Chains A and B, each alone.
Chain A
Amino acid sequence: MTINVQTIQALPVISINVWSILISLANLFILYRLVRRFLFKPVKKVLDARKAELEGRYAAAEQAEQDALADKAAWSEKMAGAQAEADGILHRAVSDAKLSSEAIIASAKEQAEGIVASAEEEARLERRKAEAGIRQELVGVSTSLAEKLLGREINASDHQALIDSFIEELGDSSDGSN
């Protein structure tokens, strides 16, 4: 193998040299390895890392959204429950009030009826008393009338049965006339 530096000389426009072709082939292959090592590998690594991070972010965001939705559902359920509870309380209060008012009204009615009943009772007693008084009067009147008519004294105790039957008739006729 000899190396000789030529005097300046140029190739013809078209020439074929096997070694030049092989050098060029090796050049392209080496550049392919270098581009892969120094451009594609680092950039792909960063792109993949970014993709992974983005996917993580999306997953976290979706998780957060789901949590929020679950919270919302729970709260709306709770709110609905509260509404129902409030309704129940109100309803109960209303029914309680109704019940107590009914009780009050009932007791008032009862009381009023009692008052009326006692008043009637009293009135009846009054009447009875008055009747008894009138009867007594009648006994006296009829006794004295009879004394006047017969001219003699009538012993009240002796003629009690007679007087009683008379008053009875009187009472019956007065009752019947009433």
Chain B
Amino acid sequence: MTEKRRLSGQDWACIALMILPLLGAMLMKTLFSPSSEGVDIHGAIIFLQIELPYQPLLITESEINSWAVIIAIVGLCLFLTRNLSVRYPGVRQHIAEWIVEKCEGLVDDSMGAFFRFVTPFICAIMALSAFSSFTAMLGLYAPTSDLNVVAGWALLVAVAITISRASCGPRAYIGTFVDDGPVMALLNIISEFATPVSMAFRHYGNVMSGAVIGVLVTAALTGLTQLLLGWLPGFLGDIPFLRIGLPAMLSIYFDIFSGAIQAYIFAMLTMLYVSGSFPMAVYEKRHPKKAAM
């Protein structure tokens, strides 16, 4: 069987699904960006404000970019999993299988094969976090540098932790806190609330600090260029020559490396907390067959 190399219309639709949302986000950014002078570090641009009780619902760059990333990821999934074949996998299918098997291996290693069903959740966390950070490469506002976004994820992880704790009934749920003694019980209850907060701030702080450093270095280099090369005639004096190079290197570190590392750390912590909070001893007593699986 020879595989058809040409991309079909549906493939192109998937590719469009990957690219167009991000292009749209970039377009919105350029249309709505306030012109700024000098050092200007601010949060996401607010596109729409809907008055709701307690707090106004804000549709900002974070939400728009998050949705663009989600649509792009779904487009990528559709693109990779088109024309799956049992015997003759193509390049795309190899990539898709590699992703699935790597994620399963990661979950198996850090949580055990018993928790394999949470693999899609871990994969979704990693993909959303990493690609959200990567949007900074396109000049977009990275949703991960908005505290609300990562706080939402951390809250969902907290829900997952609670489900894991409560999966063997209320007695086992309380047992996961108090089994290690009264002092540990207090610490466990505090850490239960501290976990989502620390996860959110860790991720937000790392990405945001990268963005802030990028802006500061860029502004500093602009000033330095004006100081050193401002004597050049005409428009040459206005070109910030020193901004060539260094900010790009910083972007490679903060956007790609740090973004990937933070996604990995967030996923690892999720796996650690969810598997650590599961009352395995109680479960093993009740279902010895299933637990041995």
A residues adjacent to B (C-beta < 8 A): 1-6, 8-32, 34-36, 38-40, 42-47, 49-50, 53
| A/B interface sample: 14 pairs, CB < 8 A | A2-B50, A4-B49, A19-B55, A20-B60, A24-B150, A28-B153, A34-B124, A35-B123, A43-B99, A43-B100, A45-B84, A46-B86, A47-B100, A47-B101
Q: Which residues in A have their C-beta under 8 angstroms from that of B208?
A: 13
A46:B85 contact, CB within 8 angstroms: yes
- CA distance in complex: A2, B81 (Å): 43
In the docked arrangement, what's the CA distance between A109 and B44, Å?
131
Q: Which residues of B are in contact with A by a Cβ distance under 8 Å?
A: 32-34, 41-46, 48-52, 54-58, 60, 62-63, 66-67, 70, 73-74, 77-78, 80-81, 84-87, 89, 93, 96-97, 99-101, 119-121, 123-125, 127-128, 143, 146-153, 155-156, 208, 212
B152 near A53 with CB under 8 A, answer no
Q: How far is the CB of B239 from chain A (nearest CB, A)?
A: 27
Q: Is the CB of A17 within 8 A of B81?
A: no
* Complex Cα gap A121–B121 (Å): 125
A30 touches B70 (CB 8 A): yes
Residues of B within 8 A of A19 (CB): 52, 55-58
Whole-angstrom CA separation of A39 from B41 in the bound complex: 38
- Which chain B residues border A6 with CB–CB below 8 Å? 46, 48-49
8 Å CB contact of B97 from A2, A31, A35, A47: A47
Contact A21 B81 (CB under 8 A): no
A17-B54 Cα distance, complex, nearest whole Å: 10
Contact A13 B45 (CB under 8 A): no
Closest beta carbon of chain B to A29's beta carbon, Å: 6
Assess the B52–A15 pair: CB atoms within 8 A: no
Residue of B42, B86, B150 touching A12 (CB-CB under 8 A): B42
User: A39 — which chain B residues lie within 8 A by C-beta?
Assistant: 77, 80-81, 96, 99-100, 120, 123
Which residue of chain A has its CB nearest to the CB of B205? A14
B153 touches A24 (CB 8 A): yes
Partner of A15, one of B57, B77, B148: B148
Contact A10 B125 (CB under 8 A): no
- Contacts of A35 on B, CB cut-off 8 Å? 73-74, 77, 120, 123-124, 127
Contact A28-B81, Cβ < 8 Å, known A10-B46, A46-B86: no
Contacts of B49 in A (CB 8 A): 3-6
B46→A24 contact, CB < 8 A: no
Task: Establish whether residues B67 and A20, one from each chain, have CB atoms under 8 Å apart when the complex forms.
Answer: no
Residues of chain A contacted by B120 (CB below 8 angstroms): 32, 35-36, 39-40
Across the two chains, which residue of chain A brings its CB closest to B34?
A: A8
| A14 / chain B contacts, CB cutoff of 8 Å | 43, 147
Extra contacts, 14 of them, besides A32-B125, A39-B96 (Cβ < 8 A), are: A1-B50, A8-B33, A10-B43, A12-B42, A13-B43, A13-B212, A20-B149, A21-B148, A23-B66, A24-B153, A27-B128, A28-B125, A43-B84, A43-B100
Q: Could you tell me the distance between the alpha carbons of A34 and B124 in the complex, rounded to whole angstroms?
A: 9
Nearest residue, chain B, Cβ from A9:
B46
Given contacts A9-B45, A49-B86, whether A32 and B121 have CB atoms under 8 Å apart is yes
Bound-state Cα–Cα, A27 to B156, Å:
10
Alpha-carbon distance between A40 and B96 when the two chains are bound, in angstroms: 9
Q: How far is the CA of A98 from the CA of B142 in the complex (A)?
A: 107
- Point out which of B51, B58, B87, B148 has the most chain A C-beta atoms below 10 A from its C-beta: B148
Question: Given A20-B148, A31-B127, A49-B86: A13 and B41 within 8 A (CB)?
Answer: yes
Partner pick for B70 among A3, A27, A47, A53, CB 8 A cutoff? A27
Chain A residues contacting B44 (CB-CB under 8 Å) are 10-11
Please measure, in the bound complex, the distance between the C-alpha atom of A4 and the C-alpha atom of B156, giving whole angstroms: 30
Contacts of A8 in B (CB 8 A): 32-34, 45
For the complex, give the distance between the alpha carbons of A13 and B60 in Å: 13
Q: Which residue of A lies closest to B150 (CB)?
A: A24
